[in-house]
Amino acid sequence: MLDDALMCSPSLEDAIDRDPLQVPPSMRLSTVMERMNQPRPQDRRATVALVVEEGELLGIFTTRDIVRLTASGEDLSPLSVQEVMIHPVKTLALDDFSDIFAALFLFRRYRIRHLPIVDAHQKLVGVISQTSLRKILRPANLLKMQRVADVMTRSVINAPSDASVLELAQLMAKHRVSCVVIVNQDAERRLPVGIVTEGDIAKFQTRQADLSMLKAEQAMSHPLFVLSPEDSLWHAHQEMSKRGVRRLVVSWNWGLGLGIVTQTSMLRVFDPMEMYSVIATLQQTIKQLEDEKANRWSQPPTN
């Protein structure tokens, strides 16, 4: 059945990182950022640090928080992670993680990207993220049926290549976005040439670089892989996985149009109502094709 093929249950266990970065509340913030910047399994850097003491989850600190603090211009060197962590923390009980839509609902409602999982005694089990969820949500047919244009964000925060990295951090904090697209712009077109992300801000902050003097062109990731709005979400998913990134730039009409597709927007595809809507549309299309085929067979042959 079509519904079974698209709605098959993913392995939720595979979405839980049971060995997340954990730090004590007294640890200096500079040390926490250094540990977040160190490669972990699969050569990925941590985007979250969980503040834990005697097994109790006290707070959470993410790359988004690094950008927020960087944008404020505050001197971070004397701070401990306890002074800047987010608390109380939104969590999900392991027993309630039987339905992936419960996690997706919490991500959307609280605009978060990491969700610690706790046991019946409120002890930390692990953490799930948008990245880990996207890895287990792979109904290829559903992704192939929708285009990048269906979920991309058209309000893209962009900046010229001579903008400072501090200005980029301030833009991210102001607009609550995870990246800034770097463009070369003339009277009409914005040609995307690179991208600077939260992770880049965190990396240079850890190196104690002077972000007010560091230019976007020195910090950006390039050359830039660019999607078309007509590309399928399956193609976008494959490119994200192959390149190990969480977002891709979209451009069309020779730079007149600019968009971005992120893991957050990709996860909208798996909203229950969206899934049922797409399935219903596909089933209607199949029925139409079957009716047309039946009508052709029922008509008398022509000489």
pLDDT tens-digit series, residues 257-273: 899 999 888 877 766 55
In the chain, domain spans: 7-137, 144-268
Distance (Å, rounded) from C-alpha 172 to C-alpha 198? 8
Q: CATH classification of 144-268, choosing from 3.40.50.2300, 3.40.1280.10, 3.10.580.10, 1.10.760.10?
A: 3.10.580.10
pLDDT tens-digit series, residues 59-89: 999 999 999 999 998 889 899 999 999 999 9
- Among the residue ranges 23-32, 49-58, 119-128, 293-302, the one predicted with the least confidence is 293-302
- For strand 158-160 and strand 179-185, is the pairing parallel, antiparallel, or unpaired? parallel
For residue 299, what pLDDT is reported? 61
Query: Mean pLDDT, the chain, as a whole number?
Result: 84
For residue 5, what pLDDT is reported? 41
Fold exhibited by the domain 7-137: CBS-domain (3.10.580)
Please give the share of the chain, as a percent, with pLDDT higher than 70: 81
pLDDT tens-digit series, residues 173-193: 999 999 999 998 876 778 899
For residue 92, what pLDDT is reported? 92
CB 206 within 8 A of CB 41: no
Question: What separation in angstroms does the CA of 270 have from each of 98, 148, 261, 279?
Answer: 16, 14, 15, 12
For residue 7, what pLDDT is reported? 43
Give pTM, 2 decimals.
Answer: 0.75
- What is the separation of C-alpha 184 from the centre of its chain, rounded to a whole number of angstroms? 25
CB 182 within 8 A of CB 161: yes
pLDDT tens-digit series, residues 118-150: 999 889 999 999 888 877 765 666 677 688 998
Distance (Å, rounded) from C-alpha 187 to C-alpha 78? 46
Q: How confident is the model at residue 296 (pLDDT cuts 50, 70, 90)?
A: low
Same fold across 7-137 and 144-268: yes
